[in-house]
Chain A
Amino acid sequence: MVQSFLVALIGGIGHIDERIFGMTMIERPLVICTLVGLVYGDLKTGLILGAQIELLSMGIVGIGANAAPPDVILGGALSTALVLQTGTDSKLALALVMPIAAFSMATKYITYVPLNQILSQKSLEAASRGDTKTMERNQWIGLFDYFIFPFLIGLVGMLLGAPLFKSLVAYIPDWLTGGFELASGVLPALGFALLMQLTFTKKFAPYLFLGFILVAFFKLTNIGVAMVGGVIAALILLNGNDSSDNNEGEVEDNEI
């Protein structure tokens, strides 16, 4: 009960990361799942699941075409919690993330989205009167909406979901978990593919292959690759004053 409460609290706080902390990324699965791991006293599983869910949701961000991304905050928190609470194979968590995330995303349109729409209209009216008090109050009520609904959904999900999940797990055969293992290895590819939709263009393709080759053939670490990328970025910045750079039709380059 206390643990369920804490998991829901983590979910609620994750949801207001972008609403009050200006998006510090504590809402990402890497952090959320680690905290859930702490709640259940299994930091290691929390860390590993956090990293795996982080990778598969790499491209799920609330910008551009992904205006309504699945809620990986509650998805990550609840799936990790259910697995840790029932002591089942942690690979099952990866299969649970998206169904929970999709469900939670759907609930937002009947909870805080319409409520805050009404609030924002009230703020607009208040603005024309120069009524800063009401505007300030509405801003904080809006924030509270973003916290309380994910928290409640998380809490109900934990209280109802755990017993249900436990009885389900008893029937899962071994070949299924083996398949999940393979899927969990491949899912980060989806994360990167989603991310590439935002950043990948033909013009920049060589850099992606450069990074790939550095790791595949030269076994460089991610930190090493980031440093190589940094050096190339510095070269681009420093050589920017060359006259050749100005003839490239820079306007098109910005379409990324």
Chain B
Amino acid sequence: MKSKDEMFKGKKLSRKELMATFWRAFLLPACYSMDRMQAPGFAYSMIPVLKKLYPNKEDLGKALTRQSEVYNTTYAMSPFILGITASMEEEASSNPNFLVSTINNIKVALMGPLAGIGDTFFWGTFRVIAAGVGTTLALKGNILGPILFLILYNIPHLLTRYYGLFLGYDLGSKAIDSLSSGGGFQRATKAASVMGLTVVGGMIASMVNIKFDFVFKSGRTTLDLQKIVDQICPDILPLAVTFFMYWLLQKKKVKTSWIMIGCFVFGILFKYLGIFK
């Protein structure tokens, strides 16, 4: 990314409008539409930029209408798309040969892949790691749990919003090319998935809690089933239970609420029979 002064050299827009967009982007889904999804919020976020670019009310109306078309992506990725859109609107406002339909085409082309990347990073990686650290501490009654959870999640969250916006503006309409060439984004998504899943694997072992409560007694010898299991593979029960539930959800399409009810029903039953604890 270029330095801040260089970025706005010879441009109609300035840092001021982009910062206004930055703050407005936090309200993206505040007026969520069932058919156009986050579009009202996208248009709302673009208002400072468009007002500056189109002093004429008629042109402003056209620009606002095209920015009100269907839009949806991971919240944290939106400033990036807003930045790109701002630079394209800037081009459109001064270049009569610029095809305005390009703007929406690029938006639509970006929101799908960016939602995939964003969900992987923010839901599948940052949140999981933050929750892993946070719940470990909170389970011990440590107040640092929720605090660290929020800090660990929000540092990458806010940095992505801020730098995404200016990076997007800088990349402008060149964005598509630079994104798809080199496969850098795909590699990053892959790396994030790997990190997220590694943590999930660890949490299955540390957070899911189920043990055999089965002790054979014959004469003087007692046989504790859990002790034997521990020698072969500790925490194999939590792993098996997790994969069983994954199988129910993924292959059998069982509803979450039924599995949850099942947990309580079988929990009571197995406890009563003394099989698991």
Contacts and interface: CB of A to CB of B under 8 A. Distances in A.
A93 B136 CA distance: 19
A24 B263 contact: no
Contacts of B175: none
A185 B211 CA distance: 10
Contacts of B130: 25
A183 B184 contact: no
A201 to B, nearest CB: 8
B249 A193 contact: yes
Interface of A: 16, 18-26, 28, 30-31, 34, 43-44, 47-48, 50-52, 54-56, 58, 60-61, 63-64, 70, 95, 98, 102, 113, 116-117, 119-121, 123-124, 127-130, 132, 135-136, 138-143, 146, 175-176, 178-190, 192-200, 204, 207-217, 220-223, 225-226, 228-230, 232-234, 236-237, 240, 245-246, 250, 253-254, 256
Given A124-B68, A179-B269, A222-B206, A119 B31 contact: yes
A47 B137 CA distance: 9
7 contacts: A44-B141, A128-B64, A129-B61, A135-B40, A186-B241, A214-B198, A254-B189
Interface stretch (B6-14, B81-89, B91-99, B231-239): B231-239
B207 A208 contact: no
A222 B208 contact: no
A-B CB proximity, top 7 nearest: A211-B201, A179-B268, A142-B31, A185-B209, A183-B267, A120-B33, A229-B198
Question: How extensive is the interface on chain B, given as a class?
Answer: 35 or more
Nearest to A52: B139
A229 B141 contact: no
Residue among A180, A183, A230 with the highest chain B CB neighbour number at 10 A: A183
A91 B12 CA distance: 60
A117 B239 contact: no
B183 A240 contact: yes
Contacts of B110: none
Interface string B264-277: 10111111100011
Contacts of B123: 61, 63, 198
Interface string B95-139: 000000000000000000101100110011001111111111011
B134 A225 contact: no
Contact of B40 (A120, A211, A225): A120
Given A55-B135, A233-B191, A215 B205 contact: yes
B79 to A, nearest CB: 9
Contacts of A200: 197, 246
Interface in B215-263: 233-236, 238-239, 241-243, 245-246, 248-250, 256-257, 259-260, 263
Given A50-B138, A214-B202, A130 B61 contact: yes
B205 A189 contact: no
B96 to A, nearest CB: 20
Given A212-B202, A240-B184, A64 B139 contact: no
A55 B203 CA distance: 9
A106 to B, nearest CB: 12
Given A25-B150, A136-B44, A194-B249, A179 B271 contact: yes
B201 A34 contact: no
B235 A215 contact: yes
Given A188-B207, A192-B203, A234-B191, A139 B30 contact: yes
Contact of A237 (B191, B199, B241, B264): B191
Residue among A186, A195, A216, A256 with the highest chain B CB neighbour number at 10 A: A186
A216 B235 contact: yes
